[in-house]
Amino acid sequence: MTDKLTSFDPATGEEIGTLEVTGPADVAATVERGRTAFAVWKTTSFAERKRLVMAAREVLLAEMESVANLISRESGKPVAEALSMEIAPVLDLMQHFARNAEKLLAPRKISIGLYALLGRSSKVVYHPLGVVGIIPAWNYPFSIPLGEAVMALMAGNTVVIKPSELTPFIGLKIVEIFEKAGFPKDTVQAVTGGGETGAALVEAAPDKIMFTGSVATGRKIAAAAAKNLTSVVLELGGKDPMVVFADADLPLAAKAAVWGAFCNAGQSCSSVERLYVEAAAAEKLTKLIVDETMTLRQGVGVDEEVSVGAMSSERQIKIVEDHVEDFRRAGAKIETGGRRKDETLFYEPTVITGATNEMLGMSEETFGPTLPIATFETEAEATELANDSEFGLTASVWSGDRRKARRVAERIEAGTVTINEVLYTHGIGQTPWGGFKNSGRGRTHGAEGLMELVQPQHIHENLLPILPDAWWMPYSANAVKTFRGFATKFASGSILKTATLAPQLLKRIFELRKKN
């Protein structure tokens, strides 16, 4: 008997649908089909890949309203965010990689320094990897796997997606979009189920795994992937610090903090999870934030006037409750919010003051609608507090003094630091995305992300294949003298020094020719 998986709307508890769990043998067979499809897909031209990705864009545009509705119902997020934070950015990513992948992956001549004087030339060409397994989280269930799939396909790979068990129908929708666009059979497939299905996908030895999720699962996947030497990109958790100096535009910073902390009900890996404000501006900024927070409407996401939706699961809301309870116990003050609405998955947007880095909700990832605020006195203290975390995904610095803001930004240990801006750069497919420290390994998006999906091949050519190389056998006293010259002259990188080696080099080459 096959296991079933039922998906629910977290805002209403309504059932969205039931589907079959893909068992381990079927997961392995899916990867094998992907491998067969790869043999043909890798030979397609960039023009053909572009045509198909642009066709998939058209399918998505035509179905945009129903896709936004599905994203909202299955994940609980407002339809406004399904459009602004998932569909619009991924449409941009699709056109960007469709139009630019060929240029980004064009063969590249490498400058090889003085080896060129020996008539040598080097270039790098990029080959696809094979089957890319994509294991995303439920929080951006559409844009993350779809964006990664487009990048993998443009690079010439085929794709198998294992959507989260909380959002399986969105995963299936992605496959449907590619099918409707006319992609060849098995170039994009999905397997459905929970963590065991994800583990089976890793076990089935795809050629790369793009994982988005928690640090704990990331560790398990890296360990399991090591068995087959499968390389893995890990996009893990975050604890985004927002550093606000007193000379910042405080009303703007307050609005940004509210959006950064509460969009997607705080369930973004780059959510503002800690706000550090210069003590002199703390009272004013806090009041602006609290006032703004109290204007937000919370409710079922398909209502277009709703700003904050439901959380995704009971497990997630429990973490938020624990962290807020710990803030209370430790003496922080709940300025607004701080509770769940009855027995639902709605947690009120919560602003907390008097937070310190010792509190649970300032060190562990909360992944919910909380905005704890702490204060600092000096620039050095602000940087130290921001860096006092196992995570390093994103951060922001707010100041009217750009030089100071840039200085602080470069001292913060995070994969992305924004200045007078917050959270949204995952939406820019052109820029690299990934974390320092426990926030991840590798990158997605940007040229760096595309490079994760190919293997470079070095082609080296001897343009004057008439003479033996001076370092070939047999060796002799003359050879050793030449090699000393290589070490002291050629390896210096100086043409002038190397020129003085020419007579010795010729002597050695004639010696080799004579011995033939």
Separation of alpha carbons 69 and 78, rounded Å: 9
Which residue, 213, 209, 264, 265, is CA-closest to 238?
213
440 is an interface residue for ligand NDP by CB under 6 A: yes
Active site residue 263: no
Alpha helices per DSSP H over 82-142? 88-104
Shortest Cβ 257–ligand NDP spacing (Å): 19
Q: Positive or negative, the Cα torsion across 498, 502, 508, 509? A: positive
Residue 409 contacts by C-beta under 8 Å, 6 or more apart in sequence?
Answer: 395, 397, 417, 418, 419
Separation of alpha carbons 184 and 333, rounded Å: 57
Tokens 């990158």 map to which residue?
Answer: 443
DSSP states of 389-433: SSEESEEEEE-S-HHHHHHHHHHS-SSEEEES--SGGGG-TTS-B
Site for ligand NDP in 122-161 (CB under 6 A): 135-140
In three-state secondary structure terms, 224 is helix
Q: Which of 127, 180, 220, 333 binds ligand NDP (CB under 6 A)?
A: 220
For ligand NDP, which is the closer residue by CB, 152 or 282? 152
236 is an interface residue for ligand NDP by CB under 6 A: yes
β-bridge pairing 370-376 and 350-353: parallel
Main-chain dihedrals φ then ψ at residue 407, nearest 5 degrees: -60, -45
User: Which range in 13-21, 175-183, 211-219, 317-325 contacts ligand NDP by CB under 6 A?
Assistant: 211-219
Shortest Cβ 199–ligand NDP spacing (Å): 4
Separation of alpha carbons 342 and 344, rounded Å: 6
CA 490 to chain centre: 42
Shortest Cβ 223–ligand NDP spacing (Å): 10
For ligand NDP, which is the closer residue by CB, 199 or 470? 199
Shortest Cβ 394–ligand NDP spacing (Å): 9
Name the active-site residue from 81, 148, 165, 269: 269
- Farthest-apart Cα atoms in the chain, separation: 93
Main-chain dihedrals φ then ψ at residue 147, nearest 5 degrees: -60, -45
Q: Under rule CB under 6 A, how many of the chain's residues touch ligand NDP?
A: 31
Active site residue 269: yes
Decide: 5 and 193 in contact? Cβ < 8 Å: yes
For ligand NDP, which is the closer residue by CB, 24 or 354? 24
Shortest Cβ 62–ligand NDP spacing (Å): 27
Separation of alpha carbons 315 and 323, rounded Å: 13
β-bridge pairing 454-462 and 391-392: unpaired
Q: Across the strands, what pairs with 123?
A: 109, 459
Name the active-site residue from 81, 235, 292, 365: 235
278 is an interface residue for ligand NDP by CB under 6 A: no
User: Which range in 76-84, 85-93, 164-172, 273-281 contacts ligand NDP by CB under 6 A?
Assistant: 164-172
Shortest Cβ 135–ligand NDP spacing (Å): 5
Q: Which of 175, 254, 257, 393 binds ligand NDP (CB under 6 A)?
A: 393
Shortest Cβ 138–ligand NDP spacing (Å): 5
Decide: 255 and 421 in contact? Cβ < 8 Å: no
Residue 84 contacts by C-beta under 8 Å, 6 or more apart in sequence?
Answer: none
Which residue, 300, 284, 304, is CA-closest to 292?
284
For ligand NDP, which is the closer residue by CB, 411 or 441? 441
For ligand NDP, which is the closer residue by CB, 154 or 393? 393
Question: String of b and e for 157-166 (b: at least 16 CB within 10 Å)?
Answer: bbbbbbbbbb
Site for ligand NDP in 178-207 (CB under 6 A): 194-195, 198-199, 202
User: Which range in 90-98, 177-185, 217-225, 346-354 contacts ligand NDP by CB under 6 A?
Assistant: 217-225
Contact track, ligand NDP, 357-376, x by CB under 6 A: --------x-x---------
Task: State the residue number with the nearest CB to ligand NDP.
Answer: 198
Site for ligand NDP in 489-508 (CB under 6 A): none
Contact track, ligand NDP, 20-49, x by CB under 6 A: ------------------------------
214 is an interface residue for ligand NDP by CB under 6 A: yes
**Residue ranges that bind ligand NDP, judged by CB under 6 A:** 135-140, 162, 164-166, 194-195, 198-199, 202, 212-214, 217, 220-221, 235-238, 269, 365, 367, 393, 435, 440
User: Which residues are marked as active site?
Assistant: 235, 269
